[in-house]
C-alpha cells in the first residue's frame, strides 16, 4: 500500500570489488562519470530510475572518496551532486562560492557523462574538504495523485496530494508533494500511490 519507489535490480550490496584495490592514500583512478555508472551497473538488468537512486546511494556511502575535479577547481563548497531524471538524465551540482558569497549551479547532460572525469580515492580524498552529498530527483512520478497515510502538517491524514518528484538526499528518500498550495516532503511510507 505504501509508496515504495524501488523496483529495479539494485547493484550488489557493499562496494564493488574494483573500488577497493587502490593503495592507501593514493588516488586510485579517474573514470568518466559514464564509466563509473557502467561499473556500478555490473549485474544490473535495467538502468532505470531505481538504478539511478542506487548509484547516488552508493556514491553517497563513499562520498569522502569521490571528487569531481571540474567542481573542485571552481572552489565550490557545500556541494550537492544530483542525478536529475526529467525525460533525460542530468548531473546537477549546486553549492556556493565562499569568496564571492554566490550560489552556483553546474549542469551536465547525459551526453556529457563520457567526458566528465570523476576521481576515486582509497582513503578520503581531502580531509579538509567536506564530502559531497549525492542526491536524485525523479520527475517520472510528476502529477500522480496520492493520499497521505499520516498527517503532514498542515495537511491531515487522508488528504489527496499531487506528487511533484521522488527525491533521495544521501540515504533519505522522500516524495515532494503539493496540496492546497502547500509543498511538503514526506517519506514513501506516508503515501498511498494506488
CATH architecture of 142-192: Roll (2.30)
Looking at the DSSP bridge assignments, the partners of residue 109 are: 90
CA distance 61 to 46: 22
C-alpha closest to that of 135 among 73, 69, 78:
78
- All CATH 2.30.30 domain ranges in the chain, comma separated: 142-192
CA distance 179 to 192: 14
pLDDT digits (tens, 9 = 90+) for 40-68: 888 888 889 989 999 999 999 999 989 99
Question: Is the peptide bond prior to 154 cis by the omega test (within 30 degrees of 0)?
Answer: yes
pLDDT digits (tens, 9 = 90+) for 63-83: 998 999 999 999 999 999 999
User: Sorting pLDDT into bands at 50, 70 and 90, what band is 15?
Assistant: low
Q: How far is CA 45 from CA 8, 61, 111, in A?
A: 8, 22, 21
Q: Report the chain's mean pLDDT, rounded to a whole number.
A: 87
pLDDT digits (tens, 9 = 90+) for 131-187: 999 999 999 999 999 999 999 999 999 999 999 999 999 889 999 999 999 999 999
- pLDDT score at 160: 96
Give the other-Cβ count within 10 Å of 3's Cβ: 22
DSSP state of 172: E
- Sign of CA pseudo-dihedral 20, 70, 170, 3: negative
User: Sorting pLDDT into bands at 50, 70 and 90, what band is 113?
Assistant: very high
The residue length of the chain stands at 194
pTM: 0.83
CA distance 70 to 118: 9
Compute the average pLDDT of residues 10-20: 52
For residues 135 and 168, the answer to whether their CB atoms sit within 8 Å is yes
Amino acid at each position: 500500500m505504501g509508496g515504495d519507489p524501488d523496483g529495479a535490480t539494485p547493484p550488489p550490496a557493499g562496494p564493488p570489488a574494483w573500488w577497493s584495490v587502490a593503495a592507501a592514500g593514493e588516488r586510485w583512478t579517474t573514470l568518466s562519470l559514464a564509466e563509473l555508472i557502467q561499473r556500478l551497473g555490473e549485474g544490473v538488468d535495467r538502468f532505470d530510475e531505481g538504478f539511478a537512486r542506487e548509484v547516488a546511494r552508493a556514491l553517497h556511502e563513499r562520498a569522502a572518496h569521490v571528487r569531481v575535479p571540474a567542481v573542485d577547481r571552481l572552489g565550490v563548497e557545500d556541494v550537492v551532486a544530483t542525478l536529475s531524471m526529467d525525460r533525460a538524465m542530468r548531473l546537477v551540482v549546486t553549492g556556493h562560492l565562499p569568496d564571492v558569497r554566490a550560489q552556483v549551479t553546474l549542469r551536465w547532460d547525459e551526453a556529457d557523462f563520457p567526458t566528465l572525469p570523476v576521481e576515486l580515492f582509497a582513503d578520503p580524498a581531502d580531509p579538509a574538504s567536506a564530502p559531497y552529498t549525492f542526491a536524485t530527483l525523479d520527475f517520472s512520478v510528476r502529477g500522480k495523485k496520492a493520499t497521505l497515510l499520516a498527517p503532514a502538517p498542515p495537511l491531515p491524514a487522508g488528504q489527496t496530494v499531487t506528487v511533484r518528484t521522488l527525491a533521495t538526499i544521501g540515504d533519505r528518500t522522500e516524495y515532494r508533494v503539493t496540496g492546497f498550495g502547500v509543498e511538503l516532503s514526506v517519506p514513501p511510507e506516508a503515501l498511498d500511490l494506488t
